Amino acid sequence: MFTKKNVRMAIIHIDGKTYQVKEGRNLLETCLSLGLDLPYFCWHPALGSVGACRQCAVKTFKDEQDTKGRLVMSCMEPVKDQLRLSISDKEAAAFREQVIGWLMTNHPHDCAVCDEGGSCHLQDMTVMTGHSYRNYHFTKRTHKNQYLGPFLNHEMNRCIQCYRCVRFYKDFAGGKDMDVFAAHNHVYFGRHQDGILESEFSGNLAEVCPTGVFTDKTLKQHYTRKWDMTYAPSVCQGCGLGCNIIAGERYGSLRQITTRYNGAVNGYFLCDRGRYGYEFVNSDRRIKQAAVRNLTGTNVGTAEALQQVKDKLASGKVIGIGSPRASLESNFALQQLVGRDHFHLGMSDTEHDLTTLALKILRQGHVRTPSMQEAATADAVLILGEDLLNTAPMMALSVRQAVNRQPAQEAMNTAHVADWQDAAVREAMQDKHGPCFILNVQPTKLDELATRAYYTAPETIARIGFALARQLGAPLAEINHLTEEEHQLVEQMAAALMSAARPLIIAGYGSACDGVLRAASNICEALHQHAKPSMLVLTTPECNSMGLEMLGGLRLDSAVNVVMNGEADTVIILENDLYRKLDKHVADNFFSRCKEVILIDHLYNATAEKATVLLPAGTFAESDGTMVNNEGRAQRFLQVYAPATTEIQESWRWLLQLGRVTNCERLRNMEFFDDVIHALTQQVRCFAGIDKLTPPADFRIAGQKIPREPHRYSGRTAILANINVSEPKPPVDGDTPLSFTMEGYRGEPPSSVIPFFWWPGWNSVQSVNKFQEEIGGSLHDGDPGKRLIEPGGNGQLTFFTEVPGHFVPCAGHLQLVPIYHIYGSEELSVHTPGIAERMPAPYIMLSPEDAKRYQVAEQHQLQIAIDGHPYTFTVKVNPALQRGMAGLPAGLPGTGIVDMPQMAKV
């Protein structure tokens, strides 16, 4: 029996009821997909089965006559046609209860003071099995805990030894510094000694751990129970991948970020920048009130501020500068306010060019850009000039799965096991990886997966890429100046890509070299000519770089030009720190020529210092908006809570109000979020359909809005009782179908507006099971988000012929190339104490030859000059770096140099 998708189906009988289910999946997953409750610990949908905890025991029966049955672990048992099983069988239920009884022999009675309490899978499973009284009356074993860095607490006494943490950390995410130690009932999960967990994905342990061993340390700083937070579905601001997150607030501060499952995007996980980079929202540097320069001492107030800006705009020659970290709606509102001809994209020129090119390739090429989950299905990977763990960390997890694809398939064939038999598959595949080639300026942490890793200048990476495309049959001129080793590499890569079924090519902003993107495109087009279904990932630098590019606008250097030559003197800057987009000396010059600088932003930064008017903007947590990720997927984030002061509001709302006071025709009749989206979809064709990303503000289920707060939300009559014993009216949300209260529709909301995952009996993150079509699949009614870019729309793109010049070191000069850091390169997350702690100090990275030539060593200071402006850095030496190049940490506070690549004089 087959379904449409050619999946073999089976009939099984569970407790006397008959179901049609997929054959070969494990019974536990199958039961959960059917919506049945069955407790488990060691199994995880992304990690598969190992059969360690014995919690998911059920009875299976040979046939109708068999009444005795056999106890089996459902996670280890494949679905076969006509299988008979019982979940409710007394012996099975008694065994499951006793498993909890065993776990409780050592688990402490500390739920009341445990951070996991109220969102604890162990609590839920304990209740589910009915284990209520302890028969064990002996002492418990105790452990010492470890310091694991700024992100995670460690409380080993709570451990129930499900082994999920090591399986995620080591096996799935490739971590090296965590393991299981000792044996019998002393097994210990942690590091070999106290220290910071090195993995970029360590924070997932807080969600993977079924109880309170690993908990979110930043949450602990301002702890709140899960049921006491106000939530909204949101989208990570940390990079261009747009992972889905749930943000939780209480008492006006953001408390926690957790994964919002999206079957197409980030699945069950987040990177640590995404999870922990949120605390800028609570920063002391927040702009909380409107301010106008030379109007000191008075609280300006919203109306006065608007009036002041109106006057300034009336007398000035105005331009607007948008932002790749602001929503489409805010950028659109600014574009409408200042007019298309005066709207500049607030990206550095390099990033602008790279994103323009990426958009062109994705729109005009023949090759589809995959979601992260699709990328994970690749069977060969080529990474050009990208240090994924630092530029698009979650994509690195997809690469990890992709390189396992080929050996895992072989293992499944030879050992005759299913993919969910995690230990058996890993045993049979050992440390084999599928083909993976990484070309970068310096080593990356993913190189351990690489069939071959090669380090050279970005231009050379591009040239090797062109040569590879040519090798694959692209009609391109021969590439000169490649070494013998590089020629061999090209041949090896070509053979690997051609023998793969679904090769994945990754390039992006990390190399800061458009030639690398062109090369990546050529390779994909060449594979396309061979009818090879390849996939192309192009990373983008910021959370809405792609959206801003699709909206369109002028370059940042043209903004500098019009101000420098006097054509403009008044700038409205939207959520942007131009000191991160222009070299310091250029930005200084620019601002010295501006008469008025109106900044709408949320953090006090270098640009704010130059502003003549500051308008306090809401962060992502206080705003609604839409962003487009590197895949061209438009995604909606919704406001979590009403800001602390009434003056803080969404940037687009400030701009609508400015439109109103200045009688801007283009912004007429716009008041609410839906109005802006409507105008945007009307005016910019490529955004058609984004009005359907979430239901409109007037959407109701059974006449009710969807509450942001769990029904157990406590203390709301007391929160402000010290000010007024009468409970104030909750803020009204006129922009979304969500309410800022605990009242409303309690059933399952549409997938795009699920504020938090909770289900009766399932208080932990594992409740996501109940929201999925099938375990590990899409959310009910589809994964949120809409792809706006599909390939072959016009099929204009063929091959780029413009090959970057051969990189030649230039005497007395260094070519500066950006080095990205997961902790430090992103603007907002560095205002989180934990992220700041993990940030490196600014440095300049030299090759040993250059260090020798300029007579410097590690830790020495080296001064370089750009256009005569001096910059001094501490030297780091990296033997993999090409001579004549120097790496500078991109975006790191205190670096000052933004425009890379460029030549610097030593």
Partner 1 sequence: MIETPLTGNIKPGVSLDIKAYEAAGGYQGLRKALQQMTPPEVTTLVKESNLRGRGGAGFSTGMKWSFVPMNVEGPKYLICNADEMEPGTFKDRWLLEGNPHQLLEGMIISAYAIQATTSFVFLRWAYKKAAQEIRRAIAEAHAAGYLGQNILGTGFHLDMHLHTGVGRYMCGEETALLNSLEGKRAVPRAKPPFPQISGLFGKPTIVNNVETLCFIPHIVNKGAAWFQSLSRTGDGGTKIYGVSGRVNKPGAWELPMGVTMRELIEEHAGGMQHGYNFRGALPGGASTDFLTTAHMDVPMDFTSVAAAGSRLGTGTMVVLDDHTCPVGFVHNLEHFFAQESCGFCTPCREGLPWTEKILYALERGEGTEADLEQLDLHTRLLGPGNTFCALAPGAMEPLQSALKYFREDFEQHVHEKKCPYGNYTH
CA angle 433, 435, 436 (to 5 degrees): 95
Reference 99, options 47, 46, 56; nearest CA is: 56
What is the end-to-end Cα distance of the chain in Å, rounded? 72
Q: Which stretch binds partner 1 (CB under 8 A): 51-59, 452-460, 469-477, 722-730?
A: 51-59
Query: How far is the C-alpha of 613 from the C-alpha of 595, rounded, in Å?
Result: 11
Count the neighbouring beta carbons within 10 Å of the beta carbon of residue 430: 8
Nearer to partner 1 by C-beta: 2 or 133? 133
| Chain position carrying tokens 């902003």 | 509
CB of 204 to partner 1, least distance (A): 22
CB of 38 to partner 1, least distance (A): 16
Q: Which stretch binds partner 1 (CB under 8 A): 49-57, 577-585, 626-634, 830-838?
A: 49-57
Reference 639, options 337, 334, 329; nearest CA is: 329
Q: Which stretch binds partner 1 (CB under 8 A): 425-433, 492-500, 781-789, 839-847?
A: 425-433
Q: Which stretch binds partner 1 (CB under 8 A): 185-193, 265-273, 825-833, 878-886?
A: 185-193
Q: By CB under 8 A, tell whether 415 contacts partner 1.
A: yes
Residue window 374-413: x/- pattern of binding to partner 1, with contact defined by CB under 8 A: -------------------------------------x--
Nearer to partner 1 by C-beta: 67 or 296? 67
Tokens of 404: 């396992």
- Those residues whose C-beta lies under 8 Å from the C-beta of residue 214, and which sit 6 or more positions away, are 148, 152, 153, 154, 165, 205, 206, 208
Reference 694, options 636, 757, 759, 631; nearest CA is: 636
CB of 44 to partner 1, least distance (A): 16
CB of 9 to partner 1, least distance (A): 23
Residue window 109-148: x/- pattern of binding to partner 1, with contact defined by CB under 8 A: --------------------------xx-x----------
Count the neighbouring beta carbons within 10 Å of the beta carbon of residue 889: 25
The size of the interface with partner 1 (CB under 8 A), counted in residues, is: 43
CB of 209 to partner 1, least distance (A): 16
| Chain position carrying tokens 């895949």 | 631
Nearer to partner 1 by C-beta: 103 or 819? 103
Nearer to partner 1 by C-beta: 61 or 95? 95
Distance of CA 82 to CAs 4, 11, 20, 21, 825, Å?
Answer: 21, 5, 10, 11, 56
CB of 26 to partner 1, least distance (A): 12
CB of 712 to partner 1, least distance (A): 30
Nearer to partner 1 by C-beta: 424 or 686? 424
Site residues for partner 1, window 72-101 (CB under 8 A)? 72, 76, 95, 98-99
Nearer to partner 1 by C-beta: 71 or 906? 71
Nearer to partner 1 by C-beta: 431 or 484? 431
Asked if residues 200 and 272 have their Cβ atoms less than 8 Å apart, the reply is yes
Distance of CA 689 to CAs 367, 548, 678, 875, Å?
Answer: 22, 17, 10, 50
CB of 56 to partner 1, least distance (A): 11
Q: Which of 106, 123, 323, 772 binds partner 1 (CB under 8 A)?
A: 106
Nearer to partner 1 by C-beta: 85 or 300? 85
Query: How far is the C-alpha of 167 from the C-alpha of 553, rounded, in Å?
Result: 47
Asked if residues 886 and 814 have their Cβ atoms less than 8 Å apart, the reply is yes
Site residues for partner 1, window 187-206 (CB under 8 A)? 187
Q: Which stretch binds partner 1 (CB under 8 A): 211-219, 428-436, 549-557, 883-891?
A: 428-436
Count the neighbouring beta carbons within 10 Å of the beta carbon of residue 457: 25
| Chain position carrying tokens 């499951």 | 96
Q: Provide the H-helix boundaries in 14-89.
A: 27-33
Query: How far is the C-alpha of 167 from the C-alpha of 180, rounded, in Å?
Result: 10
Q: Which stretch binds partner 1 (CB under 8 A): 44-52, 290-298, 354-362, 702-710?
A: 44-52
Q: Which of 54, 250, 366, 580 binds partner 1 (CB under 8 A)?
A: 54
CB of 135 to partner 1, least distance (A): 6
Q: By CB under 8 A, tell whether 53 contacts partner 1.
A: yes
Q: By CB under 8 A, tell whether 66 contacts partner 1.
A: no
Tokens of 39: 């407790």
Nearer to partner 1 by C-beta: 51 or 834? 51
Q: Which stretch binds partner 1 (CB under 8 A): 70-78, 215-223, 568-576, 704-712?
A: 70-78
Q: What share of the chain is helix, strand, coil (3-state, %, to 5)?
A: 35, 20, 45
Nearer to partner 1 by C-beta: 19 or 188? 188
- Those residues whose C-beta lies under 8 Å from the C-beta of residue 5, and which sit 6 or more positions away, are none
Residue window 617-656: x/- pattern of binding to partner 1, with contact defined by CB under 8 A: ----------------------------------------
Nearer to partner 1 by C-beta: 411 or 621? 411
Nearer to partner 1 by C-beta: 60 or 576? 60
Asked if residues 75 and 26 have their Cβ atoms less than 8 Å apart, the reply is yes
Site residues for partner 1, window 554-593 (CB under 8 A)? none
Nearer to partner 1 by C-beta: 67 or 663? 67
Q: Which of 62, 109, 416, 481 binds partner 1 (CB under 8 A)?
A: 416
H or E stretch including 458?
Answer: helix 458-471
Q: Which stretch binds partner 1 (CB under 8 A): 103-111, 207-215, 554-562, 736-744?
A: 103-111
Nearer to partner 1 by C-beta: 210 or 625? 210
Query: How far is the C-alpha of 878 from the C-alpha of 80, rounded, in Å?
Result: 56
Q: Where are the beta strands (DSSP E) in 274-379?
A: 291-292, 318-321, 343-344
CB of 93 to partner 1, least distance (A): 12
| Chain position carrying tokens 């795009």 | 752
Q: By CB under 8 A, tell whether 423 contacts partner 1.
A: yes
Q: By CB under 8 A, tell whether 61 contacts partner 1.
A: no
CB of 146 to partner 1, least distance (A): 19
User: 603: exposed, middle or buried (C-beta count within 10 Å: 0-12, 13-18, 19+)?
Assistant: buried
- Those residues whose C-beta lies under 8 Å from the C-beta of residue 647, and which sit 6 or more positions away, are 288, 289, 290, 301, 302, 616
Counted residue by residue, the chain has a size of 906
Q: Which of 34, 111, 180, 661 binds partner 1 (CB under 8 A)?
A: 180
- No. of helices (H) and no. of strands (E), the chain: 25, 34
Query: How far is the C-alpha of 190 from the C-alpha of 185, rounded, in Å?
Result: 15
Query: How far is the C-alpha of 572 from the C-alpha of 657, rounded, in Å?
Result: 14
Residue window 145-174: x/- pattern of binding to partner 1, with contact defined by CB under 8 A: ---------------xx-x-----------
CB of 495 to partner 1, least distance (A): 21
Query: Would you tell me which residues interact with partner 1 (CB under 8 A)?
Result: 50-55, 57, 70-72, 76, 95, 98-99, 102-103, 105-106, 135-136, 138, 160-161, 163, 180, 182-187, 411, 414-417, 421, 423-424, 427-430
